[in-house]
Amino acid sequence: MFEKNESFLELGFAKLDCSRQRRTGLPEIVFAQTKEISQLKEIIISFKKNKVPLFLSRLSKEQYLRLKKHFKDLKYFSAARIGFLGKPYPKTGKTVSLVTAGTSDIPVAEEAGVFLEILGNKVERIFDAGVAGVHRILSFKNKIDRSKIIIVVAGMEGALASLVSGITKRPVIGVPTSIGYGASFNGLASLLGMLNSCSLGVCVVNIDNGLGAGYLAHTIINSDI
């Protein structure tokens, strides 16, 4: 009933989940932000040895440049702070709409966008379309309807997720961001706004968790559903 001991690589400070690809069909993603360079190097070496692809999320430019010296094939997507080691995935032919309320929400959105593109999906970007000028998002209704799922990234009051969900029959993944000040309380206002959406059909991931939204979207649209 249980997985065997062989299903992870023991590095002492980390147990690399080599069975993830088999279990979930998706590559291992290592959260780089709080890891030291020596740890990241050891992780990368293990993955290369096992010939499985590796994503590094929240990888800073500084971390990347230091790793690049050792791993020439490490690709870096600076807008998304994503590092990637591996071969490009085949095209899936699926499209995701990626909508942001403001310009400042783009870095979070790109975590999803870059992830989805690496995995072979098409991403339709609609940036800076917040509810203060509702005609902007309404003009993209057809484009939205033609994608399989919509990711809405918004800080401040996060109202855009409800609104988009109300104009389409597609599922909406809301990503609250910490963009805002004062009573935004680092994204709490947007998070609560999306959770209380008066439109059914919206689900939410953690504040600033663009990657989680991208991962979930890929899972949903590429399962044999």
Indicate the SS3 state at residue 171. Answer: coil
The footprint of a copy of itself on residues 150-179 (CB under 8 A) is: 156-159, 162-163, 165-171, 173, 176, 178-179
Q: Where are the beta strands (DSSP E) in 116-222?
A: 122-126, 149-154, 172-176, 202-204
Confirm or reject binding of residue 52 to a copy of itself (CB under 8 A): no
Pick the closer one to a copy of itself by CB: 76 or 195: 195
Distances from the Cα of 218 to the Cα of 55, 121, 161, angstroms: 15, 8, 19
Bridge partners, residue 175, by sequence? 153
Pick the closer one to a copy of itself by CB: 9 or 72: 9
Q: How many residues bind a copy of itself (CB under 8 A)?
A: 104
Confirm or reject binding of residue 128 to a copy of itself (CB under 8 A): yes
Confirm or reject binding of residue 26 to a copy of itself (CB under 8 A): yes
Least distance from a copy of itself to the Cβ atom of residue 73, Å = 23
The footprint of a copy of itself on residues 79-118 (CB under 8 A) is: 94, 101-104, 106
Confirm or reject binding of residue 34 to a copy of itself (CB under 8 A): yes
Q: Distance from CA of residue 131 to its chain's centroid? A: 23
Confirm or reject binding of residue 204 to a copy of itself (CB under 8 A): yes
Which token pair is 67? 């790793």
Interface pattern 2-21 for a copy of itself (x via CB under 8 A): xxxx-xx--xxxxx-x-xx-
Confirm or reject binding of residue 76 to a copy of itself (CB under 8 A): no
Given the DSSP bridges, would you call strands 149-154 and 95-100 parallel, antiparallel or unpaired? parallel
195 CB burial (10 A radius; 0-12, 13-18, 19+): middle
